[in-house]
C-alpha cells in the first residue's frame, strides 16, 4: 500500500544515496557533543555513514524505504516491479557489505532511520558503548 503523498515520495526519492539525511545529521551532532570523533563516508565497503577508525566500528543509518524496514516499508503502486527490484538489490547489497566489513574486523551497527528519529538517545548510547568497548587502550 502506498501511503506517501507524491510530495513525500519525491522527497524520499531524492535521498537515493541517503547521504546527509536528517536522522544522520541528528546522530552526528549528538555523538560529536559527547566527544566521539568519526569520519564520514570513508572508502570502505558500503561507504559507512560514520567510521570510528581506531575502534573499528562503522555505523549505517538505513532509510526505512530504501532498505525495506519491516515497520515502514511501503509498496509504491506505480512502477511496482522496478521499486521491488531496486529495494531487493539494496537489501542484498547490505548483506554483501556486512560480510565484507565483518571479514575485515569491523563491528557494524545498522540503525533504521525511524530508530534514530524515535529514540536518538538509545542509538547514541549503543554507538558509544561499541566504540568505547573496542577502543585501543591509551599508552
Q: Which of residues 13-72 bind Zn ion (CB under 5 A)?
A: 64, 69, 71-72
Least CB distance to Zn ion at residue 67 (A):
9
Nearer to Zn ion, 4 or 44 (CB): 4
Q: Contacts with Zn ion: how many residues (CB under 5 A)?
A: 6
Least CB distance to Zn ion at residue 114 (A):
3
Q: Whole-angstrom Cα distance, residue 107 to residue 115?
A: 19
Nearer to Zn ion, 44 or 68 (CB): 68
How would DSSP label each residue in the chain?
---S-HHHHHHHHTTTT-TT-HHHHHHHHHHHHTT---EES-SSTT--SEEETTTTEEEEEE-TTTTT-TTT----STTHHHHHHHHHHHHHHHHHHHHHHHHTT-EEEEEEHHHHHH-HHHHHHHHHHHHHHHPPPP-
From 37-45, 50-58, 79-87, 105-113, give the range in contact with Zn ion by CB under 5 A: 105-113
Nearer to Zn ion, 114 or 134 (CB): 114
Nearer to Zn ion, 11 or 39 (CB): 11
Least CB distance to Zn ion at residue 66 (A):
11
Give residues in contact with Zn ion (CB under 5 A). 64, 69, 71-72, 112, 114
Amino acid at each position: 500500500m502506498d501511503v506517501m503523498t507524491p510530495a513525500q515520495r519525491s522527497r524520499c526519492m531524492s535521498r537515493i544515496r541517503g547521504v546527509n539525511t536528517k536522522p544522520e545529521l541528528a546522530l552526528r551532532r549528538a555523538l560529536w557533543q559527547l566527544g566521539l570523533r568519526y569520519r564520514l563516508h570513508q572508502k570502505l565497503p558500503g561507504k559507512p555513514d560514520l567510521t570510528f577508525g581506531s575502534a573499528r566500528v562503522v555505523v549505517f543509518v538505513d532509510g526505512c524505504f530504501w532498505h525495506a524496514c519491516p515497520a515502514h516499508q511501503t509498496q509504491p503502486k506505480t512502477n511496482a516491479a522496478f521499486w521491488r527490484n531496486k529495494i531487493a538489490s539494496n537489501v542484498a547489497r547490505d548483506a554483501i557489505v556486512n560480510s565484507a566489513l565483518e571479514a575485515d574486523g569491523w563491528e557494524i551497527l545498522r540503525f533504521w532511520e525511524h530508530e534514530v528519529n524515535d529514540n536518538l538517545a538509545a542509538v547514541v548510547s549503543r554507538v558509544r558503548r561499541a566504540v568505547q568497548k573496542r577502543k585501543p587502550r591509551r599508552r
